[in-house]
Amino acid sequence: MSVAFIFPGQGSQSVGMGKALAENFAPARAVFDEVDAALGEKLTKLIWEGPTETLMLTENTQPALLAVSLAAMRVLEAEAGLDLARDAKFVAGHSLGEYSALAAARALTVTDAAKLVRMRGRAMQKAVPVGTGAMAALLGLDFEAAAAVAAEAAQGQVCQAANDNGGGQVVISGDKAAVERAVEIAKGKGARRAMLLPVSAPFHCALMAPAADIMAQALAMVTVSRPVAPVVPNVLVRPVSEPDEIVRALVAQVTGTVRWRESIAFMAGEGVTTFYEVGAGKVLSGLVKRIAEGASGMPVGTPDDVAAVKAARA
């Protein structure tokens, strides 16, 4: 069985995520403690108790999802005997999940990863004044059609494809007026659904350039090591292991398209048949089924999920 480990991004969060892992496994508790110490606050309390609206703030959501993913990864290693260096053909993460993937693969420390995604969340939020940007999901159009809709809607403003999630799901991002125009154009081009998303900023588009500059400076201050397994960055869709290339991809990702459909298709084409979705939710496992025929996604975010992986590997 050839496996890849994939890590979720924003949209997979929920109050209470990871709590059962921490209650049952010491390695998970240690990760949450490490993230709290890195940030100098009790983020864990917010993750497990809410309120939802505070957890949903980008600067909190990003380190929260990272913490849950890394807690789940440590439990997989301790309980199911998994070793990324031995068992992973690739690792990859959706948007902020790329930081989780890199920390899981020992390219970043937990402490540095937590500080970086907190900074990333704040920088992305501050890059565009609230209410001036937007994102929308276009369902039922392939990537090329959705990108054409975004280009037609731009009319001198920013409007571009932000996430190619697969299964006919493309997210666009940019100036609010342009994104609203794109929603109407998409409906006329045969989109099954086209709707604005409840997000606080227009991620993965040119409006995020100030955040990309901040992340370039921040990444220059941390040590990025060679990962123990090849990483498939969102913007490259090919495996990389060189620290300099990893950093360039992380900076480019802030304004670039998350090429998730292509990433999963690439890994499946290289022989991966099982994708462990490590962390909160089941979003990525659902996308795997729609992108890679014959491949399976296994969510790993609860003690029961860990037991299922352990049983499957027995």
Measured CA distances, 313 to 3, 82, 296 (Å): 12, 9, 14
Q: Residues 95, 100, 200, 285: which is the catalytic one?
A: 95
- Whose tokens are 């709707």? That residue is 195
3-state helix/strand/coil string of 235-250? CCCCCECCHHHHHHHH
Cα-flanking dihedrals φ and ψ of residue 310, to 5°?
-60, -45
100 catalytic residue (yes or no): no
204 catalytic residue (yes or no): yes
In degrees, to the nearest 5, what angle opens at C-alpha 164 toward C-alphas 9 and 306?
35
Residues 246, 233 contacting (CB under 8 angstroms): yes
Q: Which of 38, 84, 126, 93 is nearest to 249 (CA)?
A: 93
**What residue type is 93 in one-letter code?**
G
Distance of CA 277 to the CA centre of its chain: 11
In degrees, to the nearest 5, what angle opens at C-alpha 207 toward C-alphas 156 and 249?
125
Cα–Cα distance measured from residue 269 to residue 291, given in angstroms and rounded to the nearest whole number: 11
* Residues paired with 136 in a beta bridge: 172, 196
Q: Residues 173, 200, 204, 263: which is the catalytic one?
A: 204
Sorted by sequence, the CB contacts under 8 Å of residue 115 that are 6+ apart come out as 38, 39
Sorted by sequence, the CB contacts under 8 Å of residue 121 that are 6+ apart come out as 57, 58, 59, 60, 61, 62, 63, 96
Element (H, E) at 214: helix 209-219
Cα–Cα distance measured from residue 204 to residue 309, given in angstroms and rounded to the nearest whole number: 33
Query: Which residues carry out catalysis?
Result: 95, 204
